[in-house]
């Protein structure tokens, strides 16, 4: 079972253009994933849970969000919308996605004075932004037109789209702080987020390790991170783990104990405690609410024994943490 946010490798170079495509759900990258490009994401059908960095909330058809570089994100449709699924369980054309690289955006801003205001939109996008229903409705229409357009018309629609999103004063910042807390080291922050995204499911991941990867001391790293993120480094890691667990609870039949271990917790109690704190219900309660699953009759004592054996087996192969890692454990 893949628990890391997948790194989406976009083969088409996006330093001079953008990429627009529709896809079904589930899709190879409809789970927890990240990439260095900006992304404007439209949900055209179904409802469910949206996760962007440290943010979790509901989405409905017409939801439009922009995410910045290396900010993990996913939209998980509820099984309550089974009427929208075909015989293979797919929701056809659920997503419409536009992606473009930072280099392309920076060239546009540098070369065209009329694009200068887009810099504020892109700075805010590092937080993830959800747009107001009015702006989202206009954006959805433009994205649909772009699917059919070619050449200069397609490029003109792209700039019109950015103009609509930039002018939306009712948009909502989701994860990282917005323009009022502008990041003086955006590239460093991108690298930090990418490192966490690649390693958050390791139970031995520590904030000290992440700081060392950037050549920083822990105090300086903590000040940088907390200034530009709405929480501490440890809290950010916990949120990524729990949001990934939410996806697995909805989309798989894996045992809850296995999901807790796979997303980075070495005890079921720690997993349950963080899940309840962040989601407001137990993992089993969340699963039953989002995707009712018929449970086979089992012997409770046998189930408990199996979970204990599972933990013991996996921890034996997890390696021995040093004393300072145990004191600074990210899952504490």
pLDDT band, residue 54 (cuts 50/70/90): confident
d(CA 262, CA 268): 11
State residue 80's pLDDT score: 56
State residue 53's pLDDT score: 84
State residue 30's pLDDT score: 63
**153-206 pLDDT, tens per residue?**
999 999 999 999 999 999 999 975 543 445 567 778 878 888 998 899 999 999
Tokens found for residue 217: 């001391």
Q: Check if the beta carbon of residue 97 is closer than 8 Å to that of residue 21.
A: yes
pLDDT band, residue 326 (cuts 50/70/90): very low
State residue 304's pLDDT score: 45
**What is the 8-class DSSP label of residue 56?**
E
**Which residue did the predictor score with more confidence, 293 or 101?**
101
Mean pLDDT of the chain: 80
Task: Cis check for the bond before 26: say yes or no (omega within 30 of 0).
Answer: yes
The residue assigned the tokens 């998980």 is 76
State residue 116's pLDDT score: 84
Tell me the CATH architecture of domain 183-327. Orthogonal Bundle (1.10)
The residue assigned the tokens 């449970």 is 295
d(CA 289, CA 46): 16
State residue 85's pLDDT score: 80
Domain with CATH 2.60.120 in the chain: 6-180
pLDDT at 297 over 50: no
pLDDT at 272 over 50: yes
**What is the 8-class DSSP label of residue 57?**
E
Domain with CATH 1.10.10.60 in the chain: 183-327
d(CA 253, CA 260): 13
d(CA 178, CA 224): 15
State residue 98's pLDDT score: 95
Tell me the CATH architecture of domain 6-180. Sandwich (2.60)
**240-270 pLDDT, tens per residue?**
899 889 888 988 889 999 999 999 999 999 9
């Amino acid at each position: 079972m893949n628990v890391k946010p997948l790194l989406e490798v976009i083969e088409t170079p996006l330093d001079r253009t953008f990429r627009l495509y529709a896809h079904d759900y589930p899709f190879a990258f409809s789970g927890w994933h990240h990439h260095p490009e900006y992304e404007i994401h439209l949900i055209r059908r179904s409802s469910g849970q949206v996760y962007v960095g440290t943010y979790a909330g509901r989405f409905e058809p017409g939801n439009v969000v922009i995410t910045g570089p290396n900010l993990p994100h996913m939209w998980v449709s509820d099984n309550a919308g089974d009427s929208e699924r075909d015989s293979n369980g797919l929701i056809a054309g659920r997503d419409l996605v536009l992606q473009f690289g930072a280099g392309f955006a920076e060239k546009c801003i540098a070369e065209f004075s009329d694009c200068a205001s887009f810099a504020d939109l892109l700075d805010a996008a590092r937080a993830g932004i959800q747009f107001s229903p009015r702006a989202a409705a206009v954006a959805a229409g433009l994205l649909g037109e772009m699917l059919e357009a070619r050449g200069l018309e397609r490029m003109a629609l792209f700039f019109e789209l950015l103009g609509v999103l930039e002018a939306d004063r009712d948009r909502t910042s989701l994860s990282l702080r917005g323009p009022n807390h502008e990041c003086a080291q955006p590239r460093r922050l991108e690298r930090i987020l990418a490192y966490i995204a690649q390693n958050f499911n390791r139970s031995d991941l520590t904030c000290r390790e992440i700081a060392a990867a950037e050549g920083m001391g822990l105090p300086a790293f903590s000040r940088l991170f907390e200034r530009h993120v709405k929480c501490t480094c440890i809290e950010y890691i916990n949120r990524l783990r729990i949001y990934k667990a939410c996806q697995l609870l909805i989309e798989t039949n894996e045992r809850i104990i296995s999901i807790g271990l796979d997303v980075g917790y070495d005890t079921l109690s720690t997993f349950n405690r963080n899940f309840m704190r962040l989601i407001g219900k137990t993992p089993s309660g969340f699963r039953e609410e989002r995707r009712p699953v018929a449970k086979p009759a089992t012997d409770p004592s046998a189930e408990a024994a199996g979970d204990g054996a599972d933990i013991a087996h996996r921890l034996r192969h997890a390696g021995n943490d040093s004393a300072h890692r145990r004191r600074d454990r990210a899952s504490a």
